[in-house]
Amino acid sequence: MGRKVALVRSAQSIQAADSLPSNVGRASRVHALIDAFGLNDKLDIIEPEPLDNDTLTIFHSEEYIDCLFAIDSDSEYSYGSNKSDEDDEKDRQQRFGLVHDCALFEGVEEHVRYAAGGTVAAANILVDGQAQIAIHWEGGRHHSQRSKAAGFCYVNDVVLGILALQKRFSRVLYIDLDLHHGDGVQDAFLYSSRVMTLSLHHYDRGFYPNSGGEISEGRGNGAGYSVNVLLQRGTNDSSFIHVFSAVANKVLTAFDPEVIVVQCGCDGLAGDPHKIFNLTSNAFARSIKTVLGWERPALLLGGGGYSLPECARCWTRLTAIACGYDIAPEADVPEHVFLNEYAPGFDMLTDVMLIEDSNTNAYLDSIVQAVQAALPNQS
């Protein structure tokens, strides 16, 4: 493609990402495989700075950030030993969603600051014209709300990145490829006509986050600018590629974005523990090739994905595509520190499951037609 590519990472940001309880060690494996394929020599490596509170609170509330960072290096809360204060603090954590899947953990502040700082740094690279494609695989935390953690997401780096992009770009298209609905990003821009969100996800009763069940969910000036593609259990590469190509090109025509942000959560891979979709890296590769083929600045982010080797395979391949190459799924995994985790095949393949794709052709066509009807400025 001949476009300049920047990968945002540092030893500190990788370590901070590795500490996230839902994805322990994932970042190390992703970047080790990227380097094993020699891709680090084909792009610019940009080291992020941890984001300060002033920038975090451009989106998040000060009260939420204060509660989020109320754990010190000794894993003791700042309230001290007073039982009443302890109860008050636990109530506050409950209010801000810092319980269950988003319980506070040692290292959460460093994780949040680097996750957000990396995405904002990647956005600023595009704003300043230092590169045409910026990548931050430790970003993509799309569930967090302004004042609430959710779905393993303690910060919405995506929203902060989009706000940074708006310093230069008037129209931002956000595409979410995660198995789960990109609810936090959609909610942040629900009333905006400057940001269009397109989320392709599984939707079913009781399936997290129990949102994204309508094709179009924009409000006010944002009517028609929040688009959802609801996919059924067993979605395979053929169905995903078909509906993505059809819908994405219609969105491109209707919105004419100046920059594109893609959340590449890969928990829809067949090898992911969720086992809801039946995708291989081909679905993501074709989608990213389509987006990059539009020849507009692009920000690629990570997201969900709970099989460490599958995430590393997928995001390494997408990194190669951004650099103008591709890695065949049949390619051998090069020798590196985590090679044994790719047994028994030691290749880049994702093994599909023997399950039925519940999406019929008629259903997929109806989704495309419904999206067409919902988009703004349609005759």
Is 180 part of the annotated catalytic residue set?
no
Closest CA to 10 of 122, 109, 140: 122
DSSP 275: -
The DSSP secondary structure of 144-189, one letter per residue, reads: -BTTB-BTTBSS-HHHHHHHHHTTT-S-EEEEE-SSS--HHHHHHT
Residue 158 CA to residue 348 CA, distance in Å, equals 28
Distance of CA 86 to the CA centre of its chain: 34
Give which of 157, 210, 152, 205 is closest to 181, Cα–Cα. 210
Compute the CA torsion angle 176, 214, 279, 270 (nearest 10 deg). 100
Please calculate the CA angle 303-305-309 and round it to the nearest 5 degrees: 125
Q: What are the counts of helices (DSSP H) followed by strands (DSSP E) for the chain?
A: 12, 8
Separation between Cα atoms, residue 30 and residue 39, nearest integer Å: 12
- Alpha helices (H) in the chain, listed in sequence order: 11-18, 26-36, 53-56, 62-68, 83-95, 108-127, 157-165, 183-188, 237-255, 281-292, 308-322, 361-374
Cis peptide before 334 (omega within 30 of 0): no
Separation between Cα atoms, residue 41 and residue 34, nearest integer Å? 10
Helix (H, G, I), strand (E, B) or coil at 309: helix
Spatial CA neighbour of 122 closest among 2, 32, 285, 13: 13
**Which residue among the candidates 60, 143, 181, 201 is catalytic per the annotation?**
143
Amino acid at 125: I
Active site residues: 143
